[in-house]
Amino acid sequence: DPDERIGGKQVPHNPLINAGAIMSCSLVKPGLPQADRFDYVMGIWAKLCGDKMPGFGNSTYLSEAATADRNFCLGYLMKENNAFPEDVRDAEELNKALNFYFMCCSIELDCAAMSVVAGTLANGGVCPVTSKRIFSPKTVRDALSLMCSCGMYDYSGEFAFSMGFPAKSGVGGAILIVIPNVMGIC
């Protein structure tokens, strides 16, 4: 549900759940063609995991698109509240925004690459493999706070209480765990 007003618009705040992830995807390079936007996202993932190019799961993409009723509902609710950027104003543009979200949901990394992503977050946004800064410390701080509070969905509170580490589970079965200033685990 949209839960926060930013710039006079009611927008979802949490990018780790569907509504916030859909909104986040709509904000990625909105002026570019879809293919260029996706290439940009894939490039960021490649940098996060030490210049290893991620894969794309076509079967995941097709499954996401085929079972998208809830996501379309969320999209229409956000569109009704004028939450999207200016370029998402009609059903066709909403469909493109959701399609981009489904594409981003279908990015695949192996366990080794995901552990480097976790290590990049643990290292304050600097990839431990390439020594390149990918994210600012503020971005990492905010991401880790969200991971700690809601990265494990219904189990988030218990995980935070029992384990105390920022973590993010994925539909593929992986769990990305960050121990700040120490290491990343997948």
Single pTM value for the model: 0.90
Beta bridge partners of 107: 56
Three-class secondary structure of residue 58 per DSSP: helix
What digits encode the pLDDT tens for the residues 141-178?
999 999 999 999 889 999 999 999 999 998 778 999 99
pLDDT of residue 6: 53
Distances (CA, A) of 167 to 5, 73, 159, 164: 27, 28, 8, 9
pLDDT of residue 89: 85
What digits encode the pLDDT tens for the residues 115-142?
999 999 999 999 999 999 999 999 999 9
What digits encode the pLDDT tens for the residues 24-77?
999 999 989 999 999 999 999 999 999 999 999 999 999 989 999 999 999 999
137 phi and psi angles, rounded to 5 deg:
-55, -35
CB 66 within 8 A of CB 99: no
pLDDT of residue 2: 39
Q: How far apart are CA 157 and CA 149, in angstroms?
A: 7
Q: How far apart are CA 149 and CA 15, in angstroms?
A: 12
Q: How far apart are CA 113 and CA 46, in angstroms?
A: 9
Look at residue 5 and tell me whether its pLDDT is greater than 70.
no
pLDDT of residue 1: 37
Residue 63 buriedness (CB in 10 A; 0-12 / 13-18 / 19+): middle
Kindly indicate the confidence band of residue 3, based on its pLDDT and cuts at 50, 70 and 90.
very low
Q: Which amino acid is at 160?
A: A
Look at residue 180 and tell me whether its pLDDT is greater than 50.
yes
Kindly indicate the confidence band of residue 97, based on its pLDDT and cuts at 50, 70 and 90.
very high
CB 3 within 8 A of CB 12: yes
Helical segments of 32-175, H only? 34-48, 58-66, 69-80, 91-105, 111-122, 137-150, 156-162
